[in-house]
Amino acid sequence: MRPRLSLANAALLAALAAMVAACQSTPAPTGPNRAALPTMERVALGANACWFKSGDPAFAAYKLAPELNSFSGRPRILLVHKGSPESRPLLVVQAEGSPSHVQAFGPMMSDPLAGRIAADVNRWSGGSKACS
């Protein structure tokens, strides 16, 4: 006999599946600066302003580590533990190509915060400067 999923667990699984699907990549931004570097510059500025300078408690334990000068053609930003910046990144957001293809991955994309991260990255990569 298989165990039954409760309605709450089924809803949680559906929400997580939708977040994971939405978080894997974002559409190319509109406007003249659609290449990877300008896109990631917008994302880095948005993350810095909205997640860190604003004092957002959801990101208080983390530090932003931008790596925009990339010889691989994939500029990126990393989120690492504030106390151990040398540790493995918890979030990587990177872009590639022109028009850019943005990806977000890492352990934080399995957290409840993943939906918000994906929405913010999508908004910033599209040109908005707004916080959530």
- For residue 24, pLDDT beyond 80: no
Strand 91-96 versus strand 101-105 pairing type? antiparallel
What is the average per-residue pLDDT within 23-43? Answer: 71
Please check whether residue 72 lies inside any domain of the structure.
yes
pLDDT of residue 22: 43
pLDDT in tens, 74-88: 999 999 999 998 899
Please check whether residue 2 lies inside any domain of the structure.
no
Please check whether residue 115 lies inside any domain of the structure.
yes
Please check whether residue 130 lies inside any domain of the structure.
no
- At residue 23 the predicted structure's pLDDT band, cuts being 50, 70 and 90, is very low
pLDDT of residue 33: 78
Total domains, the chain: 1
Please check whether residue 1 lies inside any domain of the structure.
no
Please check whether residue 30 lies inside any domain of the structure.
yes
Q: DSSP assignment of 78-125, as one string?
A: EEEETT-TTSPPSEEEEEETTTTEEEEESGGGGSTTHHHHHHHHHHHH
* pTM of the complete model: 0.75
pLDDT of residue 31: 54
> What residues make up the domain containing 85?
7-125
Please check whether residue 89 lies inside any domain of the structure.
yes
Q: From edge to edge, which strands make up the β-sheet containing 76-81? A: 62-67, 76-81, 91-96, 101-105
